[in-house]
Amino acid sequence: MAPKCLVVMYHYIRDAGSGGAGVHGLDVDAFGAQLDMMSASMAPIDWPTFRAWRAGRRRISDRSFLVTFDDGLAEHGAVVGPMLERRGMRGLFFVSTGFVGAKDMASAHKIHLLISKLGAVEFLSEVRSRLGIVGESGKCAVEAGGAEAKNVYGYESGAVADLKYLLTFGIPIEDRRRVVDGLFEAHVGDAGEWSSRWYLDWPAVERLDAAGHTIGGHGHEHEPLLRWSAAEQGRDLARSAVELNRRLGERGRPMSYPYGSFDADVARRSAFAGFVNGFTTREGWIGPQDDAHQLCRVDTIHVGALMEREFTCVE
């Protein structure tokens, strides 16, 4: 059997109910149980080992796994890092450099908190009002995502998936920022105060780096890269790479495309910015010959089913 690696994607790791109904994460105990379950049948590796294996400089077990964490959330430093270290493991942490130690939040996380505060129905009503879309035209605009909305937000109900898709992919970025920022200030609070406890700051990022974890890029502004022009994509990727190198030292790093939004051109621009791997949200195992800038990952919620398919013998 040729060796292959499963790369697992996490976001929130926090106690159940923390952050509200709009914040979908994995309970801390469930996260520990999943790490132990995977370790019982696969070998954990870190990103330097993963990279050396793909370059033909190192062998790995027939089935190995690598854990990754998107968004640079505060619990990644306070909770996740220590949990991995107690197990002798090291993770790959993707941070959006524009929000590390900043006084603002990514629209995605503001949306999560607004859903928790208002509920989907009231939130949608407020969005329609502020965008000036009413009646059937507004209904059609929200439902335009359809199957693609469920593909991107498969863990959400249909209504919430369509709402998130509208805000993230369906309207101009500046309109979304204007609407979401206004609603956040009106219903949740000051984004600067929230950001200070929501995200890692640079000292926390540096501690993860010093402990042997890998810090990668997740864009600078945490926007779907395919929504931008080629020039805007290049600027965002370059800002991410430059800031990571300035803070942590110049070395090859991996990129996780925000929202899994990429194509071959985005992958090339990521490589040009200096990122040596690009991780997507496409599910599957990784082999040594797979495209370095279009690598698969599996979401934590699908790990059990994928492993069951992989390890069940078919007679």
Residue in the block written with tokens 């335009």:
144
Instruction: Work out whether the CA dihedral 182, 183, 187, 190 comes out positive or negative.
Output: negative
- Residues 30-73 pLDDT 10s: 999 999 999 999 999 999 999 999 999 999 999 999 999 999 99
- Residues 218-268 pLDDT 10s: 999 999 999 999 999 999 999 999 999 999 999 999 999 999 999 999 999
Tell me how far apart the alpha carbons of residues 299 and 303 are, in angstroms, rounded to a whole number.
7
Residue 220 carries which DSSP code? S
The average confidence (pLDDT) of the chain is 91
**Helices 303-311, 28-41: inter-axial angle, 10-degree rounding:** 20
Phi-psi region of 30 (alpha: psi -120 to 50; beta: other; left: phi over 0): alpha
Tell me the pLDDT band of 148, cut-offs 50, 70 and 90.
confident
- pLDDT the model gives residue 30: 95
Q: What is the pTM of this model?
A: 0.93
Strand 275-279 and strand 253-256: pairing?
Answer: parallel
- Residues 150-178 pLDDT 10s: 777 777 777 888 888 989 998 999 999 99
- Residues 260-301 pLDDT 10s: 999 999 999 999 999 999 999 999 999 999 999 999 999 999
Tell me how far apart the alpha carbons of residues 91 and 209 are, in angstroms, rounded to a whole number.
10
Q: Decide: 99 and 222 in contact? Cβ < 8 Å.
A: yes
Choice between 135 and 1, residue whose per-residue pLDDT is larger: 1
Phi-psi region of 189 (alpha: psi -120 to 50; beta: other; left: phi over 0): left
Q: Decide: 74 and 306 in contact? Cβ < 8 Å.
A: no
Residues forming a β-bridge with 44: 65
Dihedral pair phi/psi, residue 64, rounded to 5° = -125, 165
Both tokens of 146, joined, read 């359809």
In this structure, the number of other CB atoms found within 10 A of the CB of residue 51 comes to 18
Determine the 3-state secondary structure of 209 from DSSP: helix
- Cβ-proximal residues to 315 (8 Å cutoff; 6+ apart), any chain: none
Determine the 3-state secondary structure of 13 from DSSP: strand
Report the amino acid identity of residue 202: W
